[in-house]
């Protein structure tokens, strides 16, 4: 026996609105310009839109039921597995993760990977994945970088000429001061404070000229084996350390492979920066230790530190926190260390000083290594 259960106008309206909403959702999903697919909690694709299938070169029937990892290039597979594992543990969505997708024909292309959770009966049952093709964006970015490099080359050549022309008169001025002291000791004694200010100004200008030349005139590194203590000795001899700055040296000595002249530039920059940050009052600790394939060298100061928001910009060209400076010193340091196949990083807070960590490889090719 069948019973006809009357449906109220209100219930009918709600049902029709639900059907209409689902229809519009399906149309938006299918026609969305981004590559969309839905996966269950195991990473199995349960649905995808036309853009996803078309861009990967498969039919929907070929894609649905496959693992999401199948369509990720090997260079991004570890990253995407980590993202999926993190989601499984925390249900936290992924936002703008750059990965590479592999098409059916084997070609790859970059996308931004974003996800939202699929919720059913108050439980997360999967994810909807949004992939935005950024191939054109990357091409445009490369074009801009190439144009910027060309302009920087022109600026660099001009800067090198100016720096080279300034270096000689600065040397004359610097060498003239001790001559005046010898020839006119009374004059020097009566005006010693003026001469000291002149010396400081000349030293500062010469340091800035050296920074510019180090940045724009990069040459292959000439590696040799040298003790760290010897390198530090040569470095300190080239500096005038203020009386109220205390230097603490490594307790243990190590042999390192480096270009002596270029590594001196790095050490000088780090010590001068620390001295200026502490306003010529405080201590600089230099430590060294062995770590598997690396020799680590740390420069730590007791200055005010660097705000966290500025730390990530510290190695950008022309970026400086000083009123007087080129913004090229730390960039040159980074270039030199990287040409030694090493790394340089910085850590610190606004209150606890700053530490620069240099990692140099123990084993290197004793040929020129500038790329």
Between strands 35-40 and 294-301, the pairing is unpaired
In which element (H, E) is residue 101 found?
strand 97-102
Bridge partner residues of 291 (DSSP): 294
**Sole residue written with tokens 């790329």:** 371
Taking only the tens of pLDDT, the chain with its 371 residues reads 455 555 566 565 566 666 665 667 678 788 888 999 999 999 999 999 999 999 999 999 999 999 999 999 999 999 999 999 999 999 999 999 999 999 999 999 999 999 999 998 889 999 999 999 999 988 888 888 788 777 766 666 666 677 667 777 878 888 888 888 888 888 878 888 887 888 878 877 776 777 666 666 666 788 899 999 999 999 998 888 888 899 999 999 999 999 998 899 899 989 988 998 888 889 999 999 998 899 999 999 998 888 877 887 888 776 666 655 556 678 888 888 998 999 999 987 656 789 999 999 988 765 444 44
User: 220-371 domain in CATH 3.30.565.10?
Assistant: yes
Q: What is the pLDDT of residue 15?
A: 62
Q: What is the pLDDT of residue 20?
A: 64
Q: Do domains 14-133 and 220-371 have the same CATH topology?
A: no
pTM of the shown model: 0.49
CA quadruple 143, 144, 149, 151: dihedral, nearest 10: 120
Look at domain 14-133 and name its CATH class: alpha beta
Domain ranges of the chain: 14-133, 136-217, 220-371
């Amino acid at each position: 026996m069948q019973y006809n259960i009357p449906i109220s106008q209100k219930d009918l309206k709600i049902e029709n609105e639900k059907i209409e909403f689902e229809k519009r959702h399906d149309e938006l999903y299918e026609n969305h310009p981004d590559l969309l697919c839905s996966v269950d909690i195991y990473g199995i694709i349960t649905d995808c839109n036309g853009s996803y299938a078309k861009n990967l070169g498969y039919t929907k029937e070929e894609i649905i039921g496959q693992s999401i990892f199948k369509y990720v290039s090997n260079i991004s597979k570890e990253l995407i597995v980590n993202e999926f594992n993190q989601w499984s543990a925390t249900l936290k969505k992924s936002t703008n993760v750059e990965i590479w997708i592999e098409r059916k024909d084997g070609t790859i292309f970059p996308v931004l990977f974003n996800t939202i959770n699929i919720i059913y009966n108050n439980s997360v049952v999967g994810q909807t994945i949004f992939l935005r093709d950024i191939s054109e964006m990357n091409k445009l970015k490369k074009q801009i970088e190439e144009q910027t490099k060309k302009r920087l080359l022109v600026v660099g050549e001009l800067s090198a000429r100016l720096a080279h022309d300034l270096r000689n008169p600065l040397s004359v001025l610097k060498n003239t001061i001790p001559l005046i002291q010898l020839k006119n000791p009374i004059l020097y004694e009566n005006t010693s404070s003026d001469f000291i200010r002149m010396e400081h100004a000349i030293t500062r200008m010469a340091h800035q000229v050296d920074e510019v030349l180090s940045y724009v005139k990069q040459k292959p590194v000439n590696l040799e084996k040298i003790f760290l203590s010897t390198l530090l000795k040569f470095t300190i001899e080239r500096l005038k350390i203020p009386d109220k700055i205390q230097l603490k040296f490594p307790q243990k000595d190590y042999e390192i492979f480096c270009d002596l002249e270029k590594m001196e530039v790095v050490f000088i920059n780090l010590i001068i920066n620390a001295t200026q940050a502490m306003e010529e009052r405080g201590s600089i600790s230099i430590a060294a230790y062995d770590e598997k394939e690396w020799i680590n060298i740390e420069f730590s100061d007791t200055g005010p530190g660097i705000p966290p928001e500025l730390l990530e910009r510290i190695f950008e060209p022309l970026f400086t926190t000083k009123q007087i400076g080129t913004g090229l010193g730390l960039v040159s340091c980074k270039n030199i260390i990287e040409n030694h196949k090493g790394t340089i990083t910085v850590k610190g807070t606004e209150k606890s000083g700053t530490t620069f960590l240099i990692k140099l490889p123990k084993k290197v090719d004793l040929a020129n290594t500038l790329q």
